[in-house]
């Protein structure tokens, strides 16, 4: 528990760095934010009021202080486009991204587990070779190519799943598959390698020697231990998953935070862009802390600290 | 067995890349005439003998565009890898050689960079780009990319610093720049080469992702990512656009990854890169 608290505290400087980076990036944009919001023809008085509202009349280090202060108080600014609070726009979109990412992760496990198991148990067989070639292909295949190919096959040729959107039942399947495949490929390779290591261990011999059935030996003693390194790689993969979610949401018009980020970039709606970037960065850091925790639960020998 | 697959990987990768390089070179002679020559009536034309890859939304021949895309991808990735490596060598070399506070600072900065996936940083930087240009993309990718090279170089310098040939060079009163260039660098060419090869694959992927998201190279530059973006928009009427442009990009990425695998085994290098 203390460890968790400490990790969460350690997140603060990282998030501070991220928000500072975003703050200064916004200040590198050529042109005046006031002109950007009101248009260059706006009245001088209006401009002055907005200037004061945005704290632009203070030196830059003070502006950054106000900026962080507002962030902490939950005031993330308003969209230049819809005039709505950024935080509520993000809150609306966030569940869709969470749903997509978890579905993709589940999909990755469902694919990777049998593939890795098969490849490890039948090492150097055609099964092994086939599934590992498949994995190599899955790693090399970018999301934004896999997605269209899946749509061509499953939506257009076979008409099993919808092409895009989030409203129809089954519309999550193709986005999740698109996002999950690269992870599945990586996980199956990892799982195969770690299972092969575990299968050589003496405790498997003793499990067999005490008369356990082979299935129990493999599943309870082999797989259980082989999963540990696989879980630790998931934490590292979350970032790839989040970035992939941005691409996947664009392909399938999935109304998540990635699509919101892209739309806001196109509209130059900087308050929303900055909010989305911060939320994505925060999710990444939090999930990383959580995977550390799960890792410890799986393997009590691991000392965190 | 290991030696055989190594050479197989290396040869396969080299073969694929040779083909792609060839298409990039062909585009210098071929595309200028073809790019000016397009007919709207050929819009979304299916692949045929006259247009083996079909045509795009403006009636351009897709084969020409894909060849031109190879040129853009190779140019962006070679430049990015070059600039990243140069900065990485300088910064990593200084950090590893002088150590102390400088090294601590370097470790901190690179930790901050590595604590986030490169693609997220790249998207964040590209989001605030005012006018997209090819050099802007190269700049953004290099800003994020140098860390991997710097880490490799720092590690190598640290392990070589106490070796006799470095110490004897120091005794002769050599300047640091010369030491780095003539004595340290030649002895870490292997790991750097491997890092750069995987880096090429990574940069091609990230560049295409950016262009696909509409944050990469300008609209009038045909790149694989842009073609794929167009292909997704017209997936229902012209699936060939996404199929062929994606195929080209995947072959390039696969080629560099295979080459990197082969090089790593042949040069016996263990390393992980920022982009790999």
The residue ranges of every structural domain in chain B are 70-267
Predicted ipTM of the assembly: 0.75
A285 close to A236: Cβ distance less than 8 angstroms: no
Which of B53, B76, B149, B139 has its CA nearest to residue B106? B149
Residues paired with residue B61 on neighbouring β-strands, in sequence order: B55
Within the 127-186 window of chain A, which residues sit less than 8 Å (CB to CB) from chain B? 140-142, 144-145, 147-149, 151-152, 156, 163
**Would A208 be classed as within a structural domain?**
yes
**Would A9 be classed as within a structural domain?**
no
Buried b or exposed e, range B178-198, using 16+ CB within 10 angstroms: ebbeebbbeebebbbbbbbbb
State the Cα–Cα distance between residues B180 and B232, nearest whole angstrom: 48
The topology under which CATH files domain B70-267 is: MetI-like fold (1.10.3720)
State the Cα–Cα distance between residues A6 and A15, nearest whole angstrom: 15
Residues paired with residue A85 on neighbouring β-strands, in sequence order: A78
Do residues A122 and A256 both lie within one domain?
A: yes
Query: Cβ of B209 under 8 Å from any chain A Cβ?
Result: yes
Number of domain units in chain A: 2
Do residues A127 and A275 both lie within one domain?
A: yes
DSSP character at residue A78: B
State the Cα–Cα distance between residues B230 and A182, nearest whole angstrom: 23
Contacts of B128 in chain A (CB under 8 A): 25-26, 28-29, 270, 273
Query: Cβ of A212 under 8 Å from any chain B Cβ?
Result: no
pLDDT along chain A (305 residues), means of 10: 71 75 72 68 76 71 78 78 84 89 89 84 80 78 82 79 74 85 85 82 81 78 78 76 86 88 83 84 79 73 59
**Would A85 be classed as within a structural domain?**
no
Query: Cβ of B124 under 8 Å from any chain A Cβ?
Result: yes
C-alpha distance from B141 to closest chain A C-alpha (Å): 15
Contact A156 B235 (CB under 8 A): yes
Q: For chain B, 276 residues long, give each residue's pLDDT as a single digit of tens.
A: 455 565 777 888 888 888 888 888 887 776 655 556 666 666 666 777 666 777 777 767 777 888 888 888 899 999 999 999 999 999 998 888 888 888 888 888 887 777 677 788 888 888 877 778 889 899 989 988 888 899 888 888 888 888 888 888 888 888 888 888 888 888 888 888 888 988 898 899 888 888 888 888 887 888 888 888 888 878 777 788 888 888 888 889 888 888 888 888 777 665 443 333
**Would A140 be classed as within a structural domain?**
yes
Do residues A59 and A155 both lie within one domain?
A: no
* Nearest residue on chain B to A270, alpha-carbon basis: B128
Q: What is the pLDDT of residue A174?
A: 85
Q: What is the pLDDT of residue B272?
A: 42
DSSP character at residue B55: B
Query: Cβ of A26 under 8 Å from any chain B Cβ?
Result: yes
C-alpha distance from A256 to closest chain B C-alpha (Å): 15
Do residues A131 and A257 both lie within one domain?
A: yes
State the Cα–Cα distance between residues B139 and B274, nearest whole angstrom: 16
Q: What is the pLDDT of residue A212?
A: 78
Do residues A191 and A274 both lie within one domain?
A: yes
A265 close to A234: Cβ distance less than 8 angstroms: no
**Would A14 be classed as within a structural domain?**
no
Do residues A144 and A69 both lie within one domain?
A: no
Do residues A136 and A253 both lie within one domain?
A: yes
Contact A242 B212 (CB under 8 A): no
What is the residue range of A192's domain? 95-298
Locate A125 and state its tokens. 């067989």
Q: What is the pLDDT of residue B271?
A: 46
Secondary structure class of B203 (helix, strand, coil): helix
Q: What is the pLDDT of residue B1?
A: 43
**Would A8 be classed as within a structural domain?**
no
State the Cα–Cα distance between residues B69 and B66, nearest whole angstrom: 5
Contacts of B250 in chain A (CB under 8 A): 140-142, 145
């Amino acid at each position: 528990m203390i460890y968790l608290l400490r990790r969460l505290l350690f997140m603060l400087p990282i998030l501070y760095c991220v928000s500072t980076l975003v703050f200064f990036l916004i200040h590198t944009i050529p042109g005046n934010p006031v002109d950007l919001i009101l248009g260059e023809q706006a009245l001088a008085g209006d401009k002055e009021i907005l200037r004061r509202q945005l704290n632009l009349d203070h030196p830059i280090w003070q502006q950054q202080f106000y900026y962080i202060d507002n962030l902490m108080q939950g005031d993330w600014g308003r969209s230049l486009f819809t005039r709505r609070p950024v935080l509520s726009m993000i809150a609306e979109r966030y569940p869709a991204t969470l749903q997509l990412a978890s579905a993709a992760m589940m999909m990755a496990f469902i694919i990777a587990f049998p593939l890795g198991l098969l490849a490890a148990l039948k090492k150097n067989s055609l099964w092994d070779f086939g599934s590992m070639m498949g994995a190599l292909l899955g790693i090399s295949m970018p999301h934004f190519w896999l997605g269209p190919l899946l749509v061509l096959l499953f939506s257009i040729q076979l008409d099993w799943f919808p092409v895009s959107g989030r409203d129809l039942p089954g519309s999550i399947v193709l986005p999740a598959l698109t996002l999950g495949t690269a992870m599945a490929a990586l996980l199956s390779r990892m799982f195969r390698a770690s299972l092969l290591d575990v299968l050589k261990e003496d405790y498997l011999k003793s499990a067999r020697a005490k008369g356990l059935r082979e299935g129990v030996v493999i599943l309870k003693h082999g797989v259980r231990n082989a999963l540990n390194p696989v879980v630790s790689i998931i934490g590292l993969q979350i970032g790839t998953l989040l970035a992939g979610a941005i691409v996947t949401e664009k392909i399938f018009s999935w109304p998540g935070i990635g699509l919101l980020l892209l739309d806001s970039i196109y509209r130059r709606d900087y308050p929303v862009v900055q909010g989305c970037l911060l939320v994505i960065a925060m999710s990444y850091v939090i999930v990383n802390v959580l995977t550390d925790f799960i890792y410890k639960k799986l393997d009590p020998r691991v000392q965190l600290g | 067995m290991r030696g055989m697959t190594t050479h197989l990987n290396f040869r396969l990768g080299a073969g694929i890349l040779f083909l792609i390089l060839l298409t990039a070179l062909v585009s210098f002679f071929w595309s200028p005439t073809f790019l000016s020559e397009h007919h709207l009536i050929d819009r979304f034309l299916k692949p045929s003998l006259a247009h083996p890859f079909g045509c795009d939304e403006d009636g351009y021949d897709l084969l020409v565009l894909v060849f031109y895309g190879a040129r853009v991808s190779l140019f962006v990735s070679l430049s990015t890898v070059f600039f990243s490596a140069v900065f990485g060598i300088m910064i990593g070399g200084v950090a590893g050689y002088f150590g102390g506070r400088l090294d601590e600072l370097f470790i901190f900065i690179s930790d901050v960079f590595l604590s986030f996936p490169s693609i997220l940083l790249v998207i964040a930087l590209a989001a605030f780009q005012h006018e997209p240009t090819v050099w802007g993309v190269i700049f953004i990718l290099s800003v994020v990319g140098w860390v991997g090279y710097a880490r490799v170089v720092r590690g190598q310098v640290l392990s070589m610093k106490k070796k006799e040939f470095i110490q004897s060079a120091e005794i002769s009163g050599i300047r640091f720049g010369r030491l780095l260039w003539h004595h340290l660098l030649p002895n870490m060419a292997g790991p750097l080469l491997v890092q750069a090869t995987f880096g090429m694959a990574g940069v091609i992927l990230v560049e295409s992702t950016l262009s696909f998201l509409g944050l990469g190279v300008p609209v009038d530059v045909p790149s694989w990512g842009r073609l794929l973006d167009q292909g997704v928009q017209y997936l229902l009427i012209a699936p060939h656009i996404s199929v062929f442009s994606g195929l080209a990009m995947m072959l390039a990425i696969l080629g560099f990854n295979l080459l990197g695998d082969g090089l790593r085994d042949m040069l016996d290098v263990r390393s992980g890169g920022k982009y790999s």
